[in-house]
Amino acid sequence: MNGALECELQGEFDVWVMQDDKLLVSDLGIPSDEPKQCIALRISHRLAIQIAKEKSDRLRTPVLTTERKCLSCDASFWISEHDSSYGAGKTGRGYFCPNCLRAETEESMIRKLGVLGYWCG
């Protein structure tokens, strides 16, 4: 396993063809909606986007991603950019970019997350 990601082609991203023929670039592992086909697993962000764009152009289908927008600063981020964390910080990884998550106190994060902070799935 290339845990240290020494190879520039390896990374946290997968490319999937979904049941509706849309392409998905994800850093979250296998999608909850069963994919039709796996195109690439554990590759770099750059390579995943390149592969998805080429396939999208051929199939004339859109590319979706699991990229998120930060609740605090509105910056785009990927879950895989975060370090492992626990407590509300673990839930916060889905809603705050790494910079804002580090700056948030536990109480402030819980307040901003509201009911989202109680989701445990």
Number of domains in the chain: 2
Helical ranges in 10-105 per DSSP H:
45-59, 88-92, 98-103
How far apart are alpha carbons 81 and 27 in whole angstroms? 9
Structural domain containing residue 24:
10-65
Based on the fold, state whether residues 36 and 51 are members of the same structural domain. Answer: yes
The overall average pLDDT reported for the chain is: 87
92 inside domain: yes
How far apart are alpha carbons 16 and 30 in whole angstroms? 9
2 inside domain: no
How far apart are alpha carbons 63 and 104 in whole angstroms? 32
pLDDT digit string, tens, across residues 46-99: 999 999 999 999 999 999 999 999 988 999 999 999 987 655 567 788 889 999
Based on the fold, state whether residues 44 and 73 are members of the same structural domain. Answer: no
Phi, psi of 91 (to 5 degrees): -65, -40
CB 91 within 8 A of CB 50: no
| Helices and strands counted in the chain (H then E) | 4, 6
pLDDT digit string, tens, across residues 3-42: 555 788 999 999 999 999 999 999 999 998 899 999 999 9
